[in-house]
Structure 1
Amino acid sequence: MLNSILKKGSVALLGAAMMFACNSGGLETTSTGLRYTMVKKGDGPKPKDGEFVIMNLSLLNHTDSVIFSTATNGSQEVFQYYDSLMPKNGSIEEAISMLSKGDSITLKVAADSIYRGSMTPPGVTKGTDLTIHIGLADILDQAGFEAWQMAEYQKRQEKMLAMAAEQMAIDKALITDFLTEKGIEAQSTANGLYYVITQEGSGATPERGQKVTVHYKGTLLDGTPFDSSYDRGAPFTFTLGVGQVIRGWDEGLALLNKGAKATLYIPSPLAYGSSQRGPVIKPNSVLMFEVEMVDFE
């Protein structure tokens, strides 16, 4: 049940039951072999079946280097507690079942009993002990859990917006430096898209929800190509403004009438952000597109 709790990044705890090393090093040991130190005793209640347990959690290797931590990960761990599903067999679950709100506990576990075969992550050495710190921060009923979820979601959104704003400033500087170096005069939108109309078209511009057909060539700022409809010999058709393409395309192509051509300089928050897209587009890549509005309807 709790295998996923530490399954973050390189961490993948594979067994609910954990065999602990023989040398206790002053730790207390349960009859099931669970080696632990009760670091702090709180004054709160124990969780009841169906309640949600909020935990602070960290995993350290034999040199005390942090492999995973909710403190650095930015979010606590949560699961719904049922005592009958907490096996008392020397497992993480047994340790958690011993805790009340406000308690914290430190466990020692043999790395070999968690990471088997070739699944040992970087930083973990076979034949050594790992240290697991668990703190039971809160116990919530259904309504409290839903409020906690909403608060966590808002925190993540605020963090993402702050990171995007920081990256946008970096990307704008890269684009403006590039344009200055090349002697290119570009226009920009309020959202941070830079563009140059290289050929005027005629008629109206497309509206959200219309199908637009475009030819394009995509490169990085250094000219490295990654995609081209010209190379495929066929234009690309999509519905404008509904998220079928990156935001920079939805915004930039809405500026073009039939027959118009432009070069779009798209900062990464309006492209693929921190995601990797194939071998060429690295996280936080600024993209440059030569685009041609073939038609729309």
Structure 2
Amino acid sequence: MDYRPYTFLLCLALLSCGQGKHPGYTDAGAQLFYKLHRFGDTEKKIKNGDYVKAVIQYTDSAGRLLQETPNSPDGSTIFQYVANHDLPLSGALVYFSEGDSASVINEKWKIKADIRIVKVMTKQEYELEQKRMAELGELEENRRLQRYLRENGLRPDTLGNGAFLLEKEEGKGPGVKAGRKVLVSYKGFFLNGRCFDSAAVKHPLEFTYGAEGQVIEGLELLLGTMREGGKSKIILPSHLAFGGQGSSTGIVPPFSTLIYEVELLKVETNE
């Protein structure tokens, strides 16, 4: 019997695999497709509950950049993999190991993710890694702060808890107390002088002093020493600002010492 026609059909079938809507990608189900570009040197697969350190870049269907992970020196982020969460990468991560580089297309979310798995950690390994990174981050932050003070010839007064008061112009109005509404104009800077946030005099920040979660701890500490009409400039180490996690927006990196220029425009006393 001549098997050549069947052999030809089998080869044709094999060649057609992965040549569907997303050529070169493997269908993982649930509208997910993935393609491995590089295999890591280990067989440490990602399991449910593991912590994953990865560099990720998200683009839309037109290839426009949507989001990347800039919150650390190597551009990586750490997250916990939970199998049943409906997130862009969730269903594909189980196919990857430490060191792998891959692309994932999620048709439901209409996005593509390029991901490099830097490290896969158990909960215990993650906690040890966080402790080590915190110690390194605090040391490096203190070095940067001391260098800034030295290079600028600054010997500022301490306000307490590690804050440094650079300038202060006393106000003549009422003081700030818990429960009073305040209107504040401010500018926030990194040590290199770049402004990352501001609230102008025409559009001030208004909030109730003492209410939880209104402003970072360092600004609340400063405002508690001011009176209406006063101006201050202060250096805030990260434990009084956005800490070892950085800001939720990703604008302020972890362990960032910040400088704020603050003007207390109004204190409502209801008197």
TM-score by length of 1: 0.47
> For residues 181 and 203 of structure 1, what CA distance do their matches in structure 2 show?
36
**More strand, by proportion:** 2
> For residues 114 and 196 of structure 2, what CA distance do their matches in structure 1 show?
32
| Aligned partner of 1:239 among 181, 205, 208 | 208
Instruction: Give runs of aligned pairs for residues 170-209 of structure 1, distance below 5 A.
Output: 170-202=140-172, 205-209=175-179
Percent sequence identity over matched residues?
28
| Aligned partner of 1:122 among 78, 99, 115 | 115
Deviation at 1:199, TM superposition (A): 1.0
Deviation at 1:165, TM superposition (A): 6.3
> For residues 76 and 233 of structure 1, what CA distance do their matches in structure 2 show?
42
Asked if 2 retains the 8 angstrom alpha-carbon contact of 1:200 and 1:260, the reply is yes
Q: Does 1:227 align with 2:197?
A: yes
Taking only aligned residues, the RMSD between alpha carbons, in angstroms, comes to 4.9
Helix, strand or coil at the partner of 1:209: coil
> For residues 187 and 264 of structure 2, what CA distance do their matches in structure 1 show?
12
Label 1:163 to 1:294 Cα distance change in 2 as closer, same or farther (>3 A): farther
> For residues 203 and 163 of structure 2, what CA distance do their matches in structure 1 show?
26
Deviation at 1:163, TM superposition (A): 5.6
> For residues 240 and 289 of structure 1, what CA distance do their matches in structure 2 show?
18
Label 1:183 to 1:120 Cα distance change in 2 as closer, same or farther (>3 A): closer
Report what 2:188 is aligned to: 218
Helix, strand or coil at the partner of 1:180: helix
Deviation at 1:277, TM superposition (A): 5.9
> For residues 188 and 234 of structure 1, what CA distance do their matches in structure 2 show?
30
Report what 2:259 is aligned to: 288
Unaligned runs of 5+ in 2: 1-26, 31-37, 54-77, 85-95
> For residues 75 and 222 of structure 1, what CA distance do their matches in structure 2 show?
30
> For residues 267 and 224 of structure 1, what CA distance do their matches in structure 2 show?
16
> For residues 116 and 185 of structure 2, what CA distance do their matches in structure 1 show?
48
Instruction: Give runs of aligned pairs for residues 1-297 of structure 1, distance below 5 A.
Output: 15=29, 62-65=39-42, 66=44, 68=46, 70=50, 119=112, 121-123=114-116, 167-202=137-172, 205-230=175-200, 233-241=202-210, 242-273=212-243, 274-276=245-247, 281-297=252-268
TM-score by length of 2: 0.51
Helix, strand or coil at the partner of 2:115: coil
Deviation at 1:79, TM superposition (A): 8.6
Helix, strand or coil at the partner of 1:255: coil
Helix, strand or coil at the partner of 1:122: strand
